[in-house]
Amino acid sequence: MEMSSGKLRNRLHWAHESVWDYPRPPKVEDAARHVRVVFNGVTIANTHRALRVLENGHPPVYYIPLENVKMQYLVRTTHTTQCEFKGEAAYYSVVVGDKTAENSAWCYPSPTPGYAELKGFIAFYPSKMDGCYVDEERVLPEPGDFYGGWITKEIVGPFKSQGGPEH
């Protein structure tokens, strides 16, 4: 099977990434991959238009366009956090049937100017979902729930959340 040079470059790009090569402050980039989130047997998010936030020492965090999320399963909470780079995050619980994951998704309704492209996108903690997938590979959650990074086979640590070199 022949592969176009663009697809080959994309596959090579994803072959191996060290989180220690990511920048600080973090950067936002197009993910160019299929991203899916499942909770209590329901696919609540499904897109080919995700963004990745790359920050030194952490696995990527995937942000999904709100129009590709079944918002009827998300309930806004009063919980907020402050990121020194992106601004104030608002949180949502995911509720499907009789199962709830409290404060398991977050977004930046009014991100700082350097991160304006995150407006209208939402991220999910993979540790709180039944499954988060990148190109149908089930991701592993970054240890702890502070950053919510998604670990795939090509992401190499150690991660700051595991006590990496600069932890």
Whether 141 maps to a domain, the answer reads yes
CATH code of the domain covering residue 53: 2.170.150.40
The structural domain count of the chain equals: 1
Whether 47 maps to a domain, the answer reads yes
pLDDT, tens only, 106-129: 999 999 999 999 999 999 999 999
| C-alpha pair distances (Å), 52 with each of 25, 99, 149 | 14, 28, 10
pLDDT attached to residue 162: 60
pLDDT attached to residue 147: 87
Alpha-carbon dihedral sign for residues 84, 88, 94, 100: positive
pLDDT attached to residue 43: 98
pLDDT attached to residue 6: 43
Domain span including residue 92: 5-162
**pLDDT tens, residue order, the chain (167 aa):** 344 444 444 444 556 899 999 999 999 999 999 999 999 999 999 999 999 999 999 999 999 999 999 999 999 999 999 999 999 999 999 999 999 999 999 999 999 999 999 999 999 999 999 999 999 999 999 987 778 999 999 999 899 876 534 43
pLDDT attached to residue 4: 43
Residue owning tokens 């973090």: 26
Whether 167 maps to a domain, the answer reads no
